[in-house]
Amino acid sequence: MSEHRSKAAELYRTWGPAVYRRCLRILKDQEAAKDATQEVFVKLIRDMSKLEDRETVLPWIYRVATNHCLNQRRNGSRRGEDFEAPPLELVASADHDTLPDRLLVQSILSRFDATTQTVAVGVLVDGMEQEEVAVVLGLSRRTVARKLARFLDLARHHVDRS
């Protein structure tokens, strides 16, 4: 069992920085990111063999950490906790130049399922190509495009109403 623990520590040292950066990117708070990193890694370490596969581990880490931290943002906001994550920073792209401001995107995010949230964050915040998001989520490129289109439609609808 001690071998198990030391292996976990080694994997944490290797992959923890990627988890921490992901959490910091979404939560924008060092203390919240620290807690989230530990929580995410406790999830990841349940499948230790997957963490040892350097070829596939990064997209998996990205997906799990993104889902977890988006949940943290949403739950913290719902509970009215002291920590409220600052707005996500959107990347510049022709696809969403007409999108409303960051706060609006953030409020719209919470109306979607976890997969759509990850798609939207991947494309709009992280600047990922849709194909890259598709690989991360194990979806087809067409599904990613459809989910993003639905998200953008709702965002535009909110802009029109306001």
Applying CB under 8 A, the residues found at the interface with other proteins are: 1, 4-9, 12-13, 16-18, 20-22, 24-25, 30, 33-34, 37-38, 41-42, 45-49, 54, 58-59, 62, 91-94, 122, 126-129, 132, 136
Number of CB atoms found within 10 A of residue 55's CB: 6
Q: Which is nearer to other proteins, 81 or 95 (CB)?
A: 95
Q: Which two tokens stand for residue 83?
A: 């920590």
Q: Which is nearer to other proteins, 30 or 157 (CB)?
A: 30
Residue appearing with tokens 């906001």: 77
Tokens of 58: 């990064």
Smallest separation (angstroms) from other proteins to the CB of 161:
29
Nearer to other proteins, 116 or 130 (CB): 130
Q: How far is the CB of 26 from other proteins (least distance, A)?
A: 10
Specify the residue, 114 or 154, whose C-beta has the smaller distance to other proteins. Answer: 114
Q: Least Å distance between CB 91 and other proteins?
A: 5
Count other C-beta atoms under 10 Å from residue 115's C-beta: 17
**How many Å from the N-terminal Cα to the C-terminal Cα in the chain?**
58
For residues 60 and 68, give the distance between their C-alpha atoms in angstroms, rounded to a whole number.
12
47/111 with CB nearer other proteins: 47
Residues 6+ apart with CB under 8 A from 60: 44, 50
Alpha helices in 28-140 (DSSP H): 30-44, 48-51, 57-79, 102-109, 114-120, 130-137
